[in-house]
Homo-oligomer: A and B are copies of this chain.
């Protein structure tokens, strides 16, 4: 198995990714949007964390009717950030994209599930939060040429204020080309009460699931360097205090999946998250995973579906590592590469 051309979500043809970043005096947050092809994508969701903040997830239950969504919004700002989806909906409406509900082409209701991460006060100003205009800006960014290029990772969009286990979190992505030629890929916003790094070795938990050569430059950090970082409390092994977080993930594939299969894929993605973050899905996280099928390729048979699900889970684990490695240090939060420079020589 190999990664797609950019090793990211946009390796799935038709999926676009846009970011809006709020970073400045008091602000450290933002919004990321994933756009589907205009006809929408089949979708599923898996909510595992104890403290989710979501909208339009009930309609993703396979017992419900609507089976195509037009965008998925990830945002900082805790529940306030759900407002970002309003801006994305209005932009989609203006572009005529949505579920048709009237006789005129513009009479559409865009289906835009959303989930948020907790990053309030990370920038200092409680009121500096994404709103509808931030969602609209992320949409505009996704529609620009950069929206279909390699996913921009690290301290950007919904990952701007993200922190995981004391290290800076952020946006990460990864992809895999399946044996039949289809693609599965993941985008994550790593922002966890737990940690993505094994405290005894300094190894990112997800690195062992890398494709051949993917994390070849990673080394075990110098023991004294690691001990110093551990002593500073940066590699937490337990949740301390009233920390609040949430890691979000989205899986995409061009293979045709049913809504139930998308729900299954989302659940497998949550398993990939479990392998890369420990502890995960805690009382302090609202971890939520979505899955999208653009249906550009035929439905997989049994073996191909198995391969897709397993590779999808690994894409989430790998994307977590990419988020960790792409992050820059911000304020009081060192990044993996700044805290453990001997791990990434």
Binding site for B on A (CB under 8 A): 47, 50-59, 61, 63-66, 78-80, 82-83, 85-86, 89, 93, 101-102, 104, 106-107, 109-112, 118, 120-121, 126, 131-132, 242, 244, 283, 286, 288
Copy tally for this chain in the complex stands at: 2
Task: Tell me the bound Cα distance from A244 to B286 in angstroms.
Answer: 32
**Are B109 and A121 in contact, with the CB atoms below 8 A?**
no
**Are B109 and A78 in contact, with the CB atoms below 8 A?**
yes
* Given contact pairs A120-B101, A126-B104, A86 touches B83 in the complex (Cβ within 8 A): yes
Task: Tell me the bound Cα distance from A126 to B93 in angstroms.
Answer: 11
* Given contact pairs A109-B120, A120-B109, A52 touches B58 in the complex (Cβ within 8 A): yes
**Are B132 and A79 in contact, with the CB atoms below 8 A?**
no
Task: Tell me the bound Cα distance from A80 to B126 in angstroms.
Answer: 26
Report, nearest first, the 5 A-B pairs whose CB atoms are least far apart: A55-B55, A50-B65, A83-B86, A52-B58, A54-B58
**Are A47 and B65 in contact, with the CB atoms below 8 A?**
no
Determine the main DSSP class of A at the interface with B. loop
Contact of A64 (CB < 8 Å), options: B51, B61, B80, B112: B51
Min CB–CB distance A154 → chain B (angstroms)? 25
**Are A111 and B79 in contact, with the CB atoms below 8 A?**
yes
Q: Residue on B with the closest CB to A82?
A: B55
**Are B83 and A102 in contact, with the CB atoms below 8 A?**
no
Task: Tell me the bound Cα distance from A254 to B79 in angstroms.
Answer: 27
**Are A120 and B132 in contact, with the CB atoms below 8 A?**
no
* Given contact pairs A51-B64, A244-B101, A79 touches B89 in the complex (Cβ within 8 A): yes
